[in-house]
Each structure stands twice: as C-alpha cells, then as structure tokens.
Structure 1
Amino acid sequence: MALPSWTDEKYGTMKRAALWLVTVIGEGNSFTKEDVKSAFPGISQADRRVRDLRDHGWQIDTQREDLTLGQHEQRFVKQGVPVWEPGKATKSGASVTHTQRREVLAKDGHLCRSCGIAPGETYAGSYESAQLDIARRTVKQPSGGEQVELVAECNRCRVGGRGQTVDLGTLLASVAGLGGLERKMLAGWVSEEKREFSTVERLWADYRALPAESRAKVREALSLPAV
C-alpha cells in the first residue's frame, strides 16, 4: 500500500513529519532542526511535532542517546506507530514535564537507578561524563498487573552501555592487590564463569533499579520511614 505524501496539508504536522522521516530521511539517517524548518516552512512547532512522535514508539535519538551525533543533529532510528493511519495517532503517554523531571531526579537522589552514577561523573575507563534523563520503566505489580513509572537513567544505560570499555591493566592490578579470602572468592567465580548471588544481593539489585514510587513500597515493607 502506497504511503500518503508528506506534503499533503490535509494531514497534521506530526503526521506529515512522520511521513517525511520515512520517505525522505529514512531509518538510520540523521537530520537537523534546519532540515525540519526547510521541510515545513512557516510552521513554528514542526520540530516539536517531530519530538511528539516518540510518544508513539518512534525512536529518534539525540546526542544524549547517540554520542556520534553533533549537538544539533538527530537520528531517525526506528519507525513506530504509523500515525497517519486513521485512529493510530492516539497518544500512548504524555511527555515528561519540567516539574516531573525535577521531582523524579530528587526522589532518585540525582543518581542513575540502573548503574548508580551521578551527573557529571566520569565513566570508568573513559573521559565521558554521565548525563541524567528521565526514562519510563515498567514495573510488574504484586497484583500481577504492570505500571509504568518514571525513573532517572544515565545516557549510557539508555543505549545499553555502547562504547563501554574496561581497563585490563587496572583490573589486573586490582586483582593482584586482593587479600587471600577475596582472591579465593574471585577465583571461584572466574573458574565457574558465573557468580551465585545471595538472596539479599539479588533483592538489593532489584530494589536499586526501582523507580521512587516502587522503592517507597519496599521501604514500607521493611518498616522504614519514608524519605
């Protein structure tokens, strides 16, 4: 089935922007705000309508998610819902407001809830500084249902640790500095190529990754005061 023309003004700007990305830019390619302005002259909110596509499952990366991009570049990574089709432009989730962003960052202690890094802190083995953003995380509830909650996450965790490296020399030096008990413990893990985590360690790892709302429920279960 042929796609509608992105120049057809009977479609709204967001739908036309989606069609422009698919037919002109193409998945995997980058574009700039100036490209958007040139494609949609006289439409002041065109760039915002492009961003709105993220609420419909479209992956459009900026420098925060893709470090190879320039400051003013974006990359059309993957098409989401075909919003130009009738009934498909229903918004699946509202954009995060500035107030919500501040509240989530405060509740999460201004730390990435996936790896624990703070904004501005340098990743180990690199000169790259962490930036925090707000992500949506699905949390399975005790009732069996699922709830989407907001959580702070760093730029590296959002893209799966792309470009992460380990300094083998530093690692070997650290191994050499281990005491007898720690060295024996590590040797066992390396020998088996796996580590068995205790129940408490697994629970801590799961707790650390939870958004603030769900962490509060765990604190309540442990009879701890709210923070």
Structure 2
Amino acid sequence: MALPSWTDTKLGTMKRAALWLVSVVGEGNTFTKENVKDAFPGVSQADRRVRDLRKHGWRIDTNREDPSLGQHEQRFVAQGEPVWQPGKGSVPAQSLTDTQRREVLARDGHFCRSCGIAPGEEYPGTYQSAQLDIARRPVKQSDGTVRVENVAECNRCRVGGRGKEADVEALIVGLSKLAPMERQMLSDWIDADQREFGMVERYWADYRTLPADSREKVRKALSD
C-alpha cells in the first residue's frame, strides 16, 4: 500500500512528521531541528510533534541515548505505530510523571539495573559518564504473558537493550541448575543488591584506558 504524501496539509502535523521521517529521512539516518523547521515552514511546534512519535513506539535517539550524535542531532532509528492510518496515533502511550520517575529510580536504588552503574560514574575502560533514565522492559511472565514494566537503566544499556524481552521463568529454571556454592554467591549478591568487582577486573578496566605505548609498558611489567 502506497504511503500518503507527507506534504498533505489535510493530515495532522504528527502524521506528516512520521511520513517525513519514513519518506525523506529514512531509518538509521540523522536530522536536526533545523531540518524539521525547513520541512514544515510556518508550522508551530513541529519538533514537538516529532517527539510525540516516541509515545507511539517510534525510536528517535538524541545524544542522550546515542553519544555519537551531536548536541543538535537526532537519529531516526526505527518506525513505530503507523500513525497516519485510520484509528492509529489517537491514543498515545501513557507517559511517566516526574513523581513516578523518581519512584522508579528510588525503587531501583538509583543505579542501572542492567550493568549496575550509578549516574555520573565512568564506564569501565572509558572516560564516558553514565546517565540514568527510565526504560520500558517487556517481561515474559510464568504464565506466558508479557507485561511491560518500568526499570532504571543507563543511556548505554538503553541503546543496546532496545527491543529485548526479559524472561522471568527462564531465569528461575536456570537458577535451579546452579551448584549450591553458586546459589549462595548469587543469593549474597541479591541480598546486598550489588556485585563488587574484583581487583583483577578493576586493573583490566584501568589498563584498557591507556594509550598503546603505556599498555606495552604494563605488558612488560606483568611478564617480568
């Protein structure tokens, strides 16, 4: 089925913006607010209508989700609901309030539930600092149904984990196969709600940040 024209002014701005992204920008490509203004001259809040598409499953990243992007760049990553079709796009997904967002962060201990990093900490082996946000995680339940739950996640894990589904039952089955010592170790981590990295892992992270000449010095010192 042929797509409607994004220049059709009879369509709402959000629908036109969605069609513009699909027809002109293309998935995987970048655009800026100036591009949006040029595409929709005289249309107020066109950039906001682009952002509204995220409520309908569209993935549009900024440098918050993708550090490779410039401050004014956005990337059209993936199309969501075809909002231009009849009956689509009229009821946006419910957004979290500031209070709900704070509650999720507090419940999750103010650290990423995927990698354990806290906001402002540097990722091991890099000089990049983490930022926390709320991700919507599909979780497969024991009865086979899927429920979307909110979870704290850092900017890097949000990018890498998009579209992934957690499976509670598979995890429980896997736990039953662990040896007693392994089960106790995991139980201790769960009770403490954290896993401490050993010194060797920390030294490895420090080593990876070094330039080539300095890495060679470390290799020689380790072999002596």
TM over 0.5, yes or no?
A: yes
* 1:80–1:200 Cα change, 3 Å: farther
The Cα shift of 1:84 comes to 0.7
Give the match for residue 59 of structure 1. 59
| Of 196-205 and 137-146, the range deviating more from structure 2 | 196-205
How many residue pairs get aligned? The number is 176
Q: 1:198 aligns with which of 182, 187, 190?
A: 182
- CA deviations over 1:7-47 (Å, ceiling 9, x no partner): 11111111100001011111111011121122223333221
TM-score, normalization: structure 1?
0.68
Q: 1:138-149 residue pairs with structure 2 within 5 A?
A: 138-141=138-141, 144-149=144-149
Residue type of the alignment partner of 2:22: V
Compute the displacement of 1:128 (Å): 0.3
Matches within 5 A, 1:87-126: 87-91=87-91, 93-126=93-126
Which residues of structure 2 form unaligned runs of 5+? 162-177, 195-224
Identity rate of aligned residues, in percent? 70
- Corresponding residue number in structure 2 for 1:31: 31
Counterparts in 2 of 1:198 and 1:26: CA distance versus 1, 3 Å: same
Give the AA of the match of 1:135.
A
Distance in 1, matches of 2:185 and 2:86, equals 49
Q: Which amino acid aligns with 1:66?
A: D
Q: How does 1:42-81 map to 2 (within 5 A)?
A: 42-81=42-81
Aligned partners of 1:206 and 1:63: how far apart in 2? 33
- Look up the equivalent residue of 1:79 and give its one-letter code: Q
In structure 2, the residue corresponding to 1:159 is in which secondary structure?
helix
Q: State the alpha-carbon separation in 1 of the partners of residues 87 and 6 from structure 2.
A: 18
CA–CA distance in 2 between the matches of 1:206 and 1:24?
Answer: 48
Q: Which residue does 1:4 correspond to in 2? A: 4
Secondary structure (helix, strand or coil) at the match of 1:198 reads: helix
Letter in 2 for 1:198: E
Q: 1:201 to 1:160 in 2, by over 3 A?
A: farther
* Secondary structure of the corresponding residue to residue 129 of structure 1: coil
Q: Partners in 2 of 1:104 and 1:88 — Cα distance?
A: 29
3-state DSSP of counterpart to 1:151: strand
Amino acid at match of 2:87: G
What is the match of residue 134 of structure 1? 134
- Report the alpha carbon displacement of residue 142 of structure 1 after superposing the two structures with TM: 5.1
Q: CA RMSD, aligned part only?
A: 2.7
The unaligned stretches of length 5 or more in structure 1 are 162-194, 210-227
Return the TM-score normalized by structure 2: 0.69
Deviation at 1:66, TM superposition (A): 1.4
